[in-house]
Each structure stands twice: as C-alpha cells, then as structure tokens.
Structure 1
Amino acid sequence: MKKIAIIPARGGSKRIPRKNIKFFLGKPIIAYSIEAALKSNLFDEVMVSTDDKEIAKIAIEYGAKVPFLRSEVNSNDVATTIDVIAEVIEAYKKVGQVFDYTCCIYPCAPFVTEQILTSSYKKLKFDNLDCVFPVLKYGHPIQRALKVLVNHRIKMIAPENMQLRTQDLEASYHDLGQFYMFKTDKMITQNRLWNDNTGYIELKEIESHDIDTVDDWEMAEFKYKYLKNVK
C-alpha cells in the first residue's frame, strides 16, 4: 500500500504576505507540516505542490520533494484543494507511481504531529473508512447561536432552544483544516475530499489554531509554546 503526503503551498497570500514560509517560532511554518509527515514514517513520498520557486527551495531544504511546479490554472484564487491533489496524483501516475492513500496536509498547520498522522492512518485503515480528518468540538452549543439584525439588535437563530439547558443539546464539531487522509481512488472518482464513509480524530482546543490574521498567528505561537512546555 503506497502512500503520499501532499502539502499544497502556493505563493499568493493576501491577508498574511508569504504566509506559507513566514517564520513561526524560528523556522518557516511549512517546515512543521513537512517534518511531521517525514517523522511519521507513513509515506513513500512527501511532496510540496507549489507555483513558487522560493517555497520549493525551502521545502526541499526541509526534506520534501518538489518534482514539478504547480500549473498556472491551479495556482489562482479559485483553484480548489481537490484540483491541486488531482493534478499531483495524475502527474505521478504518468511516471508510473500510483498511491493507494493520500494525505493532504496544509502548510500552515504547525500543530500536526507524527502521532496524530499515525493515529489517523490506523483509524482509516482498520475502520475501513474512505477518509479521516481532525475535528474540534464547539465550546458552546451551536443550537444557541445568535445573529445580529440590521437594526443592531440581537436574536437567536433557533429561538426554540432558548429554554433548553446547554448540557441537553447535542455536541457539534468543526473541521480543523489541518489535513485530510483518504483513499486516493475515492477522492479522484468522487471529486470530493470526504464522503459519508468518513471518520475523525478529535483534538483538544490547545492542539489547534486557525491562522488567518496576524493576531491569529501570534496566538498560535503562544498556544504552541504553551503546548510544548506542558508536554
């Protein structure tokens, strides 16, 4: 069973310039994803899909392969993760390399570890799933969510839950956007990252942080340092 880790990292980034290679506690943030994939010893190939020569150079320095640069059509703002993965899988197929399992690890995911990747693969394989990805439970029931009206007043989205106790409401989860591990053929044929035969790895709040702004970046560094000190 051959496995590939694909780290999609294009050069453009509007909110945080050069985000994918910006230094996160002493090294380019993409290095964390590369190192986690390599340390897991799961993958026959760890590669970075990029349109940017500087990103490619850094990726290679940290041990990933960059056998080709991403096509122009898959380097714009509207290209999807599936488009990028499909391009990589097809390129490898043309040179005789076919992978049974694929793991798409995002470049700004410093909280991903080799242990989390290994646990995800075991769950994927032994539970006969098509995909596994990490999730986090919402800290407060989404059934009690609020919305702001045009007159600057506040209202419950589902007012029927007003009198219900929060502990009686079903827990909800969200995708952490760190990685997806899946059977390659399922993703290619169905043209989707995950389907109804998908499992999950539940992480703790301290094990993740979405990074979209400079404030997010600083908070992620704070949480990462705290997490490593605790361990």
Structure 2
Amino acid sequence: MTEIISIIPARGGSKGIPGKNIRPLVGKPLIVHSILDCRESRLVNQTLVTTDDPQIAAVARDYGAQIIDRPAELASDTASSEVALLHALLEIEKQGVEPELIVFLQCTSPLRTGQDIDWAIAQFREEGADSLLSVSPSHRFLWQKVDGQAQSINYDYCDRQRRQDMNPQYMENGSIYIFKPWVLKELNNRLGGKISLFIMPEEQSYEIDSLADLKHVEILMTQKLS
C-alpha cells in the first residue's frame, strides 16, 4: 500500500520546558495542534507519533495518531531526529505500508495549517523534488567571529546594499519537511537529492523553544481565533 505518512517525533525528556509536548496551548496540548494539521490535510493518509513517553502516547492516540514506541536509546538528548524518523519508517514498513512521501512535522511549530502541508506536497510534486523544507524570508545582516576577528557572512560591509536589493535569502523555520524514503535511508538525513524551498510568511514561522516563545505563540493563535 502506497501513501503519504506524517511522522511527528515527541520525546518526553524536554529540559527547556518540562512536559513541553503536552503543555496546554490555546486549550489543547501542544502536540495536538500538529496532529490536527495532519487531519486537516487532504493528502496525508496516516499520522504517526514516535515517542518514548506514555503520557504523550495517550494524548496522541486520543486524537487519532498511530503510536510508534521509541526505544530509550533513540530518545536521549543527543539522539537526532533522523534516528527517530528512520525507526518509525522501518516500523511502519513492517506493517506493509510503503510510503510515497514522508511529511516530518515538529510539534514546536504549531502555526502551520493542514492547507500549508497540502501546498507543500503539491509544490514538492510539481518541482520533482526529492526533499523539501519550509523557510521564511530573512532580511538580517549576519556576522561571525573567526579566530577572534569579526566577519560579515551574507553581505559585504564595505559595499552595503539595501536589503531589498540583496538576493533573496531564507531562514529554515522547522515547520514542514517532506522527503522520499530513500533520502532518509541512504543519506541518514531529512534533506538530499533535489531540494525544494517552501516559503512561508514570517508570522507562521515561530518555534517554541522557551516559555517566552510559548506565550508569544499563544498570543498569536488567540488573536487568530478571535
């Protein structure tokens, strides 16, 4: 059976915000917003939540997600998202599912919609991509320190251009990733092959990494609902 599956990794050991993935956000646990985005999508056939935490599993199951029990060694602070994604993919393949595409969603990016997911999938197919990431426009002048010396990264400070005259630049916003299974299996990466950029507005690109982020996103979501 060929289909499009979404995978939402959600481990239980968040240190920045304890219990982050099931912390309430405008009346629903954080992870639920991503599950509902998948249910709103017309193109996603199945939603998986890979977790090591029984509470997260129970919440996700109540909202219609299939649970992939993630081994503890794949849920440590140092374990990458890719190892969790690969484990989930192999587990679903054991059930006879052969995904055409995998949509990887991070529950820390709750401002996307199911329509955004469908638009991203449509763009993926139209461009003949192998992988896709969502981005938002960036207009920042970036610097770095090398051997104690300041260096401009994305512009020449001796010939400063107006921002509107610079080549378009984009920031990875962590909201949507799409890839063909071979990309993950062969490259051990969410990105590879022909990469497509799905551009989202900045106001949809906030990620929740702190309590301040959580409060800010809640204000935005409350305003949208009012």
TM above 0.5, yes or no, is: yes
| Cα pair 1:100 1:185 within 8 Å, conserved | no
Please give the residue correspondences for 1:93-104 in structure 2 after superposition, counting only pairs within 5 Å. Answer: 93-104=93-104
Instruction: Give the structure 2 partner of residue 73 of structure 1.
Output: 73
Q: Provide the residue aligned with 1:157 in structure 2.
A: 152
Alignment of 1:151-190 (within 5 A): 157=152, 160-166=156-162, 167-190=164-187
The change in CA–CA distance for 1:112 and 1:160 in structure 2 (over 3 A counts) is closer
Corresponding letter in the other structure for 1:20: N
Q: Map Cα deviations across residues 146-180 of structure 1 (whole Å, 9 max, x no partner).
A: 458999xx955358424322233222111101121
Equivalent residue for 2:39?
A: 38
Question: Cα deviations across residues 182-227 of structure 1 (Å, max 9, x unaligned)?
Answer: 1112221222111241112111111121211111111111222334
Match of 1:49 in 2: 50
Q: Residue in 1 aligned with 2:131?
A: 131
Secondary structure class of the residue paired with 2:174: coil
In the alignment, which of 185, 197, 201 is matched to residue 198 of structure 2? 201
What residue number does 1:216 align with?
213
Q: Give the aligned residue type for 2:128.
A: N
Cα offsets for 1:24-82 (capped at 9, x unmatched): 1111011110000011132222110000000000001111111x410111010111111
> 2:94 and 2:143 mapped to 1: Cα distance?
51
Structure 1 146/127 Cα, relative in aligned 2: closer, same or farther at 3 Å? closer
Distance 1:225 1:181 in 2: 28
Tell me the equivalent position of 1:8.
9
Gaps of 5+ in 1: none
Compared with structure 1, are the counterparts of its residues 162 and 226 closer, same or farther at alpha carbon in structure 2 (3 Å cutoff)?
farther
Contact 2:134-2:197 at 8 Å conserved across structures = yes
> Does the aligned pair in 2 maintain the 1:207–1:227 contact within 8 Å?
no
Classify 1:148/1:224 alpha carbon distance in 2 versus 1 (closer, same or farther; 3 Å). farther
**How many residues matched?**
223
Structure 1 residues 129, 160: closer, same or farther in 2, change over 3 A?
A: closer
Once residues 97 and 160 of structure 1 are traced to their aligned partners in structure 2, the CA distance between those partners, rounded to angstroms, is 50
- Aligned pairs for 1:98-117 within 5 A: 98-117=98-117
- Residues 22 and 29 of structure 2 are in contact (CA less than 8 Å); yes or no, is this contact kept in structure 1? yes
- CA–CA separation in structure 2 for the residues paired with 1:147 and 1:59: 41
Distance 2:208 2:29 in 1: 14
For the residue of structure 1 that corresponds to 2:132, the secondary structure is strand
Indicate the SS of the match to 1:2. Answer: strand
User: Bigger shift: 131-140 or 157-166?
Assistant: 157-166
Change (3 A) 1:200 1:148: closer
Are 2:33 and 2:110, in contact at CA under 8 Å, matched by a contact in 1? yes
SS at match of 1:200: strand
Moved runs in structure 1, 4+ residues, more than 6 A? 148-151
Identity of aligned residues (%): 26
Using structure 2 for the length normalisation, give the TM-score: 0.90
Structure 2 regions of 5+ residues with no counterpart? none
3-state DSSP of counterpart to 2:5: strand
